[in-house]
Structure 1
Amino acid sequence: MAVGKEIVETLRQTVDRDISLMHICGTHEAAIARHGIRSVLPERLKIVMGPGCPVCITPQGEIDAAVELAERGCIVATYGDLIRVPGSKGTLESSGGDVRIVQGVHKAVEIAEQTDREVVFISVGFETTAPTVAATLLAKPPENFSILSCHRLVPPAMKWLLAQGEGKIDGFLLPGHVCVVMGYQEYEQFPVPQVVAGFEAEDVLLGLLMLVRQVKEGRADVENAYPRAVSREGNVKAQHLMYEVFEACDVEWRGFPVIPQSGLTLREEFAGYDAQRKFDLVYKKVTKPSACICDRVLRGVAQPSDCALFGKVCTPRTPVGPCMVSHEGACKIWQTYHQRH
C-alpha cells in the first residue's frame, strides 16, 4: 500500500476546491467501501455513485414480467441477486414458481436440454455479459429456450446524466469491466474528464488522482489507468458478436425515464429466442410507491444513508429496494461495510 499512501498524500496536496466525481460500477463502489477509500480522501473530494448495478436498474415492469413467466409455468433461470429484487407484486423468490439460480446463460441452456418445459433466462447486465449471451444464441440452443433481455448500455445513461445536470459532476471513473469489452473510444464524445480504472485500491486511487489533475488543468480527456486489461478499441470480436445478435433500443431504467438507445433487444432473426415476443409480455410502467430512494441513489443525487429506511426497515434480509439486494448495489455495500457518510 506504499503506492496508495503516496497517491493519497498527492491528492491531499492537489485538491483545493470542491470536486465531485461519479463512478458507474458497483464493483468500484464495493472496492471503495471495502478499502475505506472515502475515509482517507480530502474532505473536498466527493465520490458519488451512479447507475452501476445492472440488477438495481432493472425496472419493476421487467421484474413483474419475469414473475409472470414463473407464474405461467416456465422454468425461470437467472443470477442469484435478481430473484429477490422487488417488482410491484413481489419477487421471483416469492412467486411460487420454478425459479432456479444459475451461474450463467450456458447453465440455463443445459436445463432446457434436459426438459420439454419452456426455460427462460432473465438476461441482465451491461455490455460485459451480453457477448456471452449472444454467442450462446448463435450456437442455436433448443427451441424451448428463450431469454428476457434486460441488458443496458452505459454511454447513453452517461449522456442522460450529463444532459440533466441534477448534481454537479466534474468527472467520471469509467467501468473497467465494461471497457475491457467495449474499449473507451465511445466515451470520447463526452466533454468531461474521464478515466478508466481497475478495482484494486491503488487502481481506484490512481484513477481519482488522474481525474483530479484533469479537473485542475481544465482538460476533458479519456485516460486509461487500467492498461493491463483495457485498450481503446476493446474486444472487437466480442463487440461483433453482441451486435450480430442484439440491436440497441429505447428502454426504461429504474430511477430513470426511458433512455434512448440504452438497451439491447434481439434482432428479428433471433425472435424465436425472445421471451417478450414468445410469451406476448407487456412491460408496465410502475410508479414507485414507497419511501425508498433507490432512484435518487442510482442517479448520484443521494447516498444510501440519506434514506429513512436504510438499515432499519430496509436491510439485506428485508430489502425494500433493489440497491439493498444486489452485491453491486450501493445500499447493500454500505450496509455490509458499515458506511454512513
Structure 2
Amino acid sequence: MSVTTPPNDRTTKLRKAVEEIAASGSWAGIQVRINDPHGERVASAGVAELGGNTAPSTDGHFRIGSNTKTFTATLVLKLVADGRIALDDTVDDHLPEYGLDRRITVRMLLQHTSGLFNFTGEYYEDGTIAPGIDWQGQEWVDKLFHTYEPEELVRFALSKPARFEPGTDWSYANTNYVLLRLLVEKTADRPFAEEMQERLLTPLGLTGTFLPEASPELPEPHAHGYYTYQDGEEWKTVDVTRANPSWISAAGDMISTTEDLHTFFSALMRGDLLPAELLDQMRSPHTKFAYGLGLIVQETEYGTLYTHNGGFWGWGALMFSTPDGGTTLTASLTTGDARLDLAKAAEAFAAVQQSLLAEAFGA
C-alpha cells in the first residue's frame, strides 16, 4: 500500500532539501516553487546578497537564461498557427539580407539543426574550441554594460564556418534563436518585445516577466548574482546583478519569477497556448539530444518530463513539467564566491536538479 506524505510534511521536506543545497557552498541562494495536485509549495534558503543574512524572496525576479528559448519558440509557433509562416519555410525567404544557406528552415532554427556557428563559441568533440564573442572571464566583465545588436550577433556567426550542413546533425547554437527573434520582428512588423508582450505575457498575466533588451536593471525584489572567475592566477568575484543582457538576446535574456514560469509552462503543457498539432511537434525530440522545438524531453525515473533549464553568469534557472502541466518545478539559483570552473558549476547544477526533481516528481 502506498502512503501519501501529508502536505505539511512535504513542505518541511522541501525546505530541508533547499537548505541542504544552500549549505553545499556552491550557491549563494535558492528559491523553489512546486505546483502539483496537492497545491503549491515554496521555499528559499541561503542569502539574497553576500555578506547579508536574508534569504532570497520566494517571489523574487531573476534572469532565466535559456528558459527564454521556450518563450521564443512558443511565440514563433503562434505565428505558425496564424498561417503567417510555416515550420518548413526557407528562412532566407523571410530574411534575405543575411544570405543564409537556403536549406535552413524555421524548424531547423527551433531545433538547433541548422548547423550555424554558435556566436558564444563552439566546443568540438576533439577538444578544440572556436571562440565566439566575449562572454566569460575578464573580457566579459569589462563589457558588462556593452550593447550588442541582434544583427551584429548574427553577422558575427555567419562570418564563421558552419558546423555541419543544414539538417544533417544537431548542435546547440544561440544564433538560431537570435535569427528567430529577427524572423518574428519581420513577420509581425513590430519589435520582438511588443509581440511577446501582446501574444504571451499579457494574456497569461505574467506581470513579473520582462524582456530587458539592453537594460541592465533587475526589478525588485531580487537576489544578487555573482560571477566568480579566474583571471590569471587570481580569483575574482563580481556582483553581476546589473548587467546588459543584449549579448545573448532572445536566446536567453528574459527576466521572470518562479510563479510566472509555472504559469507559462503549465499553460503550454496543458495545450492552452498552441494547437494540439503544433504542441505535439514542439514536444517531438530530435534523436541526438531529445531536443524538440524550444524544449527538451527528459526521460526520468519519474516518467517523461518537459524542460528547458537556463544558465546566465550569476544565475541558474529550472523549469520542469509533467506532460499534462499538472505538476511543475520552477526554481532560481544564484551563484556566490565559490571557485567553480564551468565543468564544476555544471556538476553542481546537475546535483541540484536531481535533488529537486525527487522533491517535485518523486513524492
Give the alignment's TM-score, normalised by structure 1: 0.30
If asked which structure has higher relative contact order (CA below 8 Å, sep 6+), I would say: 2
Give the alignment's TM-score, normalised by structure 2: 0.29
